[in-house]
A and B are shown apart, each in its own frame.
Chain A
Amino acid sequence: MTAITRAEVEHLARLARLQLSADELDHYAGQLDVILQSVARVAEVTADDIPPTSHPIPVENVYRDDVARPGLDRAEIAAGAPAWEDDRFRVPRILDEE
Chain B
Amino acid sequence: MAAMEGDLVRQEAAVLARAIAEGEVSAEEVTRAHLDRIDAVDERVHAFLQITGDAALEAARAVDRKRSEGIPLGPLAGVPIAVKDVLTMRGVPTTCGSRVLEGWRPPYDSAVVERLRAADMIMLGKTNMDEFAMGSSTEHSAYGPTHNPWDLDRIPGGSGGGSAAALAAFEAPLAIGSDTGGSIRQPAAVTGTVGVKPTYGGVSRYGLIALASSLDQAGPCARTVMDTALLHAAIAGHDARDSTSIDAPVQDVVAAAKRGDVRGMRIGLVKELGGDGYQAGVSQRFNEAVEILTSLGAEVIEVSCPNFEYALAAYYLILPSEASSNLARFDGMRYGLRVGDDGQHSVEEVMALTREAGFGAEVKRRIMIGTYALSSGYYDAYYGQAQKVRTLITRDFNAAFEKVDVLISPTAPTTAFKIGDKVDDPIAMYLNDIATIPVNLAGNTAMSLPVGLAPEDGLPVGLQIMAPPMADDRLYLVGSALEEALVDRWGHLLIEEAPEL
- The interface of chain A, by Cβ under 8 A from chain B, is 4, 8-9, 12-21, 24, 28, 31-32, 34-36, 38-45, 47, 50-57, 59, 61-62, 64, 72-73, 76-77, 79-83, 89, 91-96
Contacts and interface: CB of A to CB of B under 8 A. Distances in A.
18 contacts: A18-B352, A18-B356, A18-B367, A28-B365, A35-B365, A38-B427, A47-B391, A52-B387, A54-B214, A56-B200, A56-B443, A56-B469, A80-B334, A82-B332, A89-B334, A91-B347, A92-B345, A93-B346
A35 B200 contact: no
Given A53-B387, A79-B105, A45 B310 contact: yes
Contacts of A57: 200-201, 244, 246, 443, 469
A16 B371 contact: yes
A9 B367 CA distance: 11
A91 B381 CA distance: 38
B98 interface: no
B442 A94 contact: no
Contacts of A55: 214, 244, 443
B124 to A, nearest CB: 23
Given A76-B107, A77-B107, A83-B341, A56 B441 contact: yes
B355 to A, nearest CB: 5
Interface of B: 90-91, 104-108, 200-201, 214-215, 240, 243-244, 246, 307, 310, 313-314, 316-317, 324, 328, 331-338, 341, 343, 345-353, 355-356, 359, 364-365, 367-369, 371-372, 375, 381-382, 384-392, 394, 426-427, 440-444, 469
Contacts of A16: 324, 355, 367-368, 371
A54 B387 contact: yes
A17 B338 CA distance: 13
Contacts, number: 185
B108 A39 contact: no
Contacts of A47: 385, 388-389, 391-392
Contacts of A51: 388, 391
B401 to A, nearest CB: 14
A96 to B, nearest CB: 5
A56 B201 CA distance: 9
Given A15-B371, A18-B368, A28-B365, A42 B338 contact: no
Contacts of B108: 72
Contacts of B90: 76
A53 B369 contact: no
Contacts of B381: 40, 43
A29 B245 CA distance: 39
Contacts of A73: 107
A62 B337 CA distance: 33
A16 B320 CA distance: 12
B441 to A, nearest CB: 7
A39 B317 contact: yes
Nearest to B387: A52
B314 A42 contact: yes
Contacts of B244: 55, 57, 59
Contacts of A21: 356
